[in-house]
Amino acid sequence: MATSLRRPSFSTCSSSPTDTDDEGVRGTCEDASICKRFAVSVGYWQDPYIQHLVRLSKERKAPEINRGYFARVHGVSQLIKAFLRKTECNCQILNLGAGMDTTFWRLKDEDLLPSKYFEIDFPMIVTRKLHSIKLKPLLSKPILDLHSEDTLQMDGHILDSTRYAIIGADLRDIPELEEKLKKCNMNTQLPTLLIAECVLVYMAPEQSTNLLKWAAKSFETAMFINYEQVNMDDRFGQIMIENLRRRQCDLAGVETCKSLESQKERLLSSGWESASAIDMMELYSKLPRAEVSRIESLEFLDEMELLEQLMQHYCLCWATKGGSELGLKEITY
């Protein structure tokens, strides 16, 4: 349906058994968004957009959590910008399970937007984000400013504009995902960056493998960024799993999170040509010293050991396919 962004209509999202089953996973989107919002409010990094999408928690988050999110945001951002520079922004980005992420708006501010930026998440989450975009001029204006037509494709689960699209879809249903992306003018000939942050781990291994294989097969030149758990076989990892289970959230794909090697092997066996992985403690040690000094001065951290344990159980992985003329394999952290 073609409609104005200023006067969009939202269809009602009805519940199904799958909606109920996925409630715990959707809850992790809320948790991560609130943690990011809190870290921004303390001064870990700048994000003028997140306050328009996420409420500020009254409960303080622990310093190790804030530092962990800083490393995550910094690490993913560095890889995204490396891809954009290699392709000179003549590319597209697919943010899988994007939640309340604000990367599109922040890239626009840095004049680093790709040809088109896509976000995909559960329809219920997309409906909520669209509602915020509709109500907040700081979010809607950049989309409208970049739009080249008089009308905008929009309903309760989808918005399609010239440079930005947000789509309500289940990543486990590849035919539906592909159909909706093509309707929003996804271009398989463009170099494509796919991003998944704590997404694959909530899918059964065969489902995440199908997604990774689809991505490797669909685009001639591509890069995949995956941020999620690692080293989950030890006692600390088991405690993480038990804590999530108590909140009705099962890590269905945890068996692929045994080690950095198992993470890389999954990517390589799914059709990707090169794969790299780094745990977040190692990434933290590579952060610019001035930035580390700045964030460590924001809050006192009583137990460095707890930060190390936490960061050793998350990793940043990236894989490439094609793009030798662009130097995609040279991208590293």
171 carries a ligand binding annotation: yes
CA distance 202 to 204: 7
Structure tokens at 308: 């190390």
Look at residue 259 and give its three-state secondary structure: coil
CA distance 114 to 87: 9
294 carries a ligand binding annotation: no
Element (H, E) at 196: strand 192-197
CA distance 92 to 104: 11
- Cα dihedral 125, 127, 129, 133 in deg (nearest 10): 170
Structure tokens at 189: 């000939």
CA distance 330 to 333: 10
* Residue pair 116/165 in contact by the 8 Å Cβ criterion: yes
CA distance 243 to 245: 6
Q: How, if at all, do strands 92-96 and 116-121 pair?
A: parallel
Tell me which DSSP letter residue 189 carries.
Answer: T
72 carries a ligand binding annotation: yes
7 carries a ligand binding annotation: no
Binding residues for S-adenosyl-L-methionine: 72, 97, 170-171, 197
Binding residues: 72, 97, 170-171, 197
